[in-house]
Every structure is written in C-alpha cells, then in structure tokens.
Amino acid sequence: MPAPQLILLAVCILAVAVLYSSVGHGGASGYLAVLALFSVAPVAFKPTALILNILVSAVATVHFTRAGHFSWRLFWPFAAASIPFSFVGGYLTVPASVYNPLLGIVLLASAVRLFSRKDTEQAESGPPSTTVALGIGAALGFLSGLIGVGGGIFLSPLLLLMNWGNAKEASAVAALFILINSISGLLGHVSSLQAIPSFVPVLAATALCGGITGSFFGSRRLQGTSIVRILSVVLTIAGVKLLLV
C-alpha cells in the first residue's frame, strides 16, 4: 500500500478507536467499514479487525476498571455463556442478506431510543437474574460469532435500555466482554492469521493510541449522558454499515 494511502488509513483507524473506546467498545464494526473503504483484501478483514479490537478493548477495560466502573456481578453471567456460543456461531454460515438488514434495523432503533436518554448514577432495576443473563449471553455470543465482532455493540445498549446498569458500568462490562470474545474469535480462526497484511502493525499502533485516548476520556472525563449519546452515534455507524453491506 502506498505511504499516503496508509497514512490516511491509519488516521481513520485512529478516529474509530477514539470514538468507540470512549464507550468501552473495541471498534470492530468501524474497522471493517474502513478496511472495506480502502479496498483491503476481504480475507484480511476478520483477523485484522479482531487484532485491533483486542488491543483497544484491553485498554478500555483497564481504564474503565481503574476508574471503578466495572461490575463483576453484571459481567460474569453474560460472559460465561457467550464464549462457547461464539465458537458455535463462528462455525456456522448464515446468508448476509438475511441477518445484516435485521441487525442493522435493530441497532438503528436502539440508537434512536438511546440518543435522548439521560443517564443516572444508579441503574433503576439493577442487574438481571443469572438465568436471564446466561440466556442473553449465549444469544449474543452466537450472534457475535456469526458476524465476527466482539459483541459489545449489542450488550451495552441492552444494559442501558433494560436499566441493568448506568452508562459507565455498561461501558466497563462491554469492554471486557468484547476482549474475551475477540480473543476467542481470533483463536477460532487461527488459520486466517496468514492473511494479515504487512502494514497491520502500523494500524495496531494507531488503534492503541486511539484506545488509550478515548477510554481515558470516556472513563474519567465524559458524563454519563455524553457517553450514551456517543454510543448512539456508534450504533448508527454500525447499523448503517450492516444495511449497506
């Protein structure tokens, strides 16, 4: 890839990382869109996006946890069920023409509902029952495996819309949820690592810088309501991407 094009690609990756990490997300859906825009070989999409996802979500996990927003009670049931089902989803193939439009509409609807929502310091209803969380975690893991993302794009708006956590709790839980699912997904597609472009280390460095910046401000500087509105923008980007694929 020519140097000017690589620089522009790196800048776009940086912007995606800053935006997504500010709400605890790794940015996989954004990276996939950028890679497609720059005509990177499709075979390299998934491994490249997952590597960047792991780096950014790891940094976001550290920042949001150190800031005191992580809830193990809220996190573990979703994660426990999602990991095995993400493997199952990764092995199956569903026509993109079937699930892309449906998921795109769901994400856009969530974005609309969240945009005007004002966050409170405490969740109104508290965490869901373990049984409910396990069931939802399994469904989200399966869905994440099918699409090739970490799953936080589905988990964090659900936590907020169901009042199971406030904005920063949702971001902290989503960050670690994305991290473990991205690692699981990458391990499940080890053979695809051979398709990683030689310039990925450059993208990894810029994504890491973006993740550090975005997650720092998201965990310590931004108000809950601002995080919710940024999340609605992220959902809109992801939803539009799914509808246009």
Question: Of all helices (H) and strands (E), which one includes residue 226?
Answer: helix 224-244
Backbone phi, psi, residue 205, to 5°: -65, -45
pTM beyond 0.95: no
Give me 18's structure tokens. Answer: 């800053």
* Alpha carbon 203 to its chain's center: 17
pLDDT of residue 142: 83
Coil/strand/helix, residue 118: coil
| Structural domain boundaries enclosing 35 | 3-244
In whole angstroms, give the CA distance from residue 43 to residue 89: 18
Phi, psi of 39 (to 5 degrees): 60, 35
Note the pLDDT of residue 212.
96
What was the pLDDT predicted at 99? 66
Number of domain units in the chain: 1
Local confidence pLDDT in tens for the 245 residues of the chain: 788 899 999 999 999 999 999 999 988 888 888 888 888 887 788 788 888 999 999 999 999 999 999 999 999 999 999 888 877 776 666 666 766 777 778 788 878 877 766 665 555 567 889 999 999 999 988 877 777 667 888 898 899 888 898 889 999 999 999 998 888 777 766 666 677 888 999 999 999 999 999 999 999 988 878 888 888 888 888 888 778 76
Judge whether 60 and 27 are in contact, CB under 8 Å: no
